[in-house]
Amino acid sequence: MFRNFKTVSRVLYGRGSFDQLEGILQEKRKGNGSYIVFILDDVFKDHPFRDRIPALETDRVIFVSVDEEPTTAYVDDLTLRVQRFSGILPAGVVGIGGGSTMDLAKAVSLMLTNPGSSADYQGWDLIRNPAIYHVGVPTLSGTGAEVSRTTVLIGPQRKLGINSDHTVFDQIVLDPDLIASPPADQRFYTGMDCYIHCVESLTGTYLNAFSKAYGEKAMTLCREVFLTPTPDADEKMMMASYFGGMSIVYSQVGVCHALSYGLSFVLGIHHGIGNCIVFNQLEEFYPEGVREFRRMMDFNGISLPENRVFGIEVQKLEKMIDVSLTLDPLWENALGKAWKSVITRDRIKELYLRM
């Protein structure tokens, strides 16, 4: 059986295209009492960009902190805040920020129409009811969260996405102007998330021509952005993120993501930098990718923190291994159906202790 994927319904792309968001939302407003919820990265709280948000007085603008990666508790709290704001459901939820903020917006739009806690839905296809109309506007590119069918959350037990067709954005606005401001190191780490998606997708056992076509283009764009940059690097990075995300829709990520989820669950290390720390130790799995990644680090003057895992308590290390081992599809994509004969707890421990 082939998987029948849902993709983003509408895509708006181009420098300055963000200004068309107002008109797009206008079509969704349904008269009296209708309102839109804007979920915005709080980096924009005192930023001139705040004045460009097309929020009406009746709308709700919520600034979110992404100092910690999104948790199920935070999603539940935000959902409650929206429910308390009005007796009726919003006409739309708009997430404006990096992968964390877009994921929060996706999750809130789902939880407004599905009962219980977001932790109940971490997994694959557990969501029953369609989400509120939701829009993603990236201000940092690389994660592919704008196109994926998941919202990655740290729950009480594990870091795992709410993977479902309903998670996918109804509309995305890709405006390269918006990704000009992140600090260079953050831009690199999130850009490398995209590069690593491509390496893991293109070397994985799940690869097919659909994933390969997207993955190869995304990888070429990443190389241009991080090794031969030109003035249109933001355009390229935005499209690399989109294509990288599309590549893993039909394949999977691999060893780096399986290990980095454990790292972020236990040590709170963010996804982009966590992937870089892990990937740097995976030459035996991805020899060419890791060598090129190191060239990109050198070219961009990036150095990574060392010894983040070495010396941590045994219990924490064991928990990291547990989290990583829950991600069967990632290991299977990387190493094939017999991955359990290659990957043991001791093997993972040895890899973690290098980081």
Q: Which residues bind ligand NAD (CB under 6 A)?
A: 41, 43, 66, 69-70, 97-101, 103, 139-140, 142-145, 148, 150-152, 178-179, 181-182, 186, 190, 193, 270-272
By beta-carbon proximity to ligand NAD, the closer residue of 188 and 285 is: 188
By beta-carbon proximity to ligand NAD, the closer residue of 70 and 92 is: 70
Helix (H) or strand (E) holding 138: strand 134-138
Binding partner of residue 98 among ligand NAD, Zn ion, none, CB under 5 to 8 Å per kind? ligand NAD
Among 234, 229, 73, 56, residue whose Cα is nearest residue 138? 234
- DSSP assignments along 319-346, one per residue: HHHHHHHT-HHHHHHHH-TTGGGT--HH
By beta-carbon proximity to ligand NAD, the closer residue of 87 and 183 is: 183
End-to-end CA distance of the chain: 39
Binding partner of residue 289 among ligand NAD, Zn ion, none, CB under 5 to 8 Å per kind? none
Binding partner of residue 43 among Zn ion, ligand NAD, none, CB under 5 to 8 Å per kind? ligand NAD
User: Hey, which residues does 153 pair with through a beta bridge?
Assistant: 160
Residue with tokens 């890709």: 174
Torsion over CA: 143, 151, 67, 260 (sign): negative
**Minimum CB separation from ligand NAD for residue 349, in Å?**
23
Binding partner of residue 324 among Zn ion, ligand NAD, none, CB under 5 to 8 Å per kind? none
**Minimum CB separation from Zn ion for residue 212, in Å?**
18
By beta-carbon proximity to ligand NAD, the closer residue of 79 and 151 is: 151
- DSSP assignments along 100-127, one per residue: HHHHHHHHHHHHTTS-S-GGGG-EES--
- Helix-, strand-, coil-residue percentages of the chain, each rounded to 5: 50, 10, 40
State the SS3 of 11-80: EEECCCHHHHHHHHHHCCCCCCCCCEEEEEEHHHCCCHHHHHCCCCCCCEEEEECCCCCCEHHHHHHHHH
By beta-carbon proximity to ligand NAD, the closer residue of 91 and 225 is: 225
For residue 242, give both structure tokens. Answer: 């989109």
By beta-carbon proximity to Zn ion, the closer residue of 155 and 274 is: 274
**Minimum CB separation from Zn ion for residue 184, in Å?**
19
By beta-carbon proximity to ligand NAD, the closer residue of 141 and 203 is: 141
**Minimum CB separation from ligand NAD for residue 190, in Å?**
4
Q: Does 59 bind Zn ion (CB under 5 A)?
A: no
Binding partner of residue 190 among Zn ion, ligand NAD, none, CB under 5 to 8 Å per kind? ligand NAD
**Minimum CB separation from ligand NAD for residue 266, in Å?**
14
**Minimum CB separation from Zn ion for residue 266, in Å?**
17
State the SS3 of 205-229: CCCCHHHHHHHHHHHHHHHHHHHCC
By beta-carbon proximity to Zn ion, the closer residue of 35 and 214 is: 214
User: Hey, which residues does 41 pair with through a beta bridge?
Assistant: 64
Binding mask 135-174 for Zn ion (x = CB under 5 A): ----------------------------------------
CA distance linking residue 259 with residue 290, whole number of Å? 15
By beta-carbon proximity to ligand NAD, the closer residue of 41 and 292 is: 41
**Minimum CB separation from ligand NAD for residue 44, in Å?**
8
**Minimum CB separation from ligand NAD for residue 58, in Å?**
27
Give the footprint of Zn ion on residues 181-200 (CB under 5 A).
193
The Cα-based distances of 111 to 10, 39, 43, 55, 303 in angstroms read 22, 14, 25, 22, 39
For residue 252, give both structure tokens. Answer: 């999977």
Tell me the residue number closest to Zn ion, measured at CB: 193
**Minimum CB separation from ligand NAD for residue 275, in Å?**
9
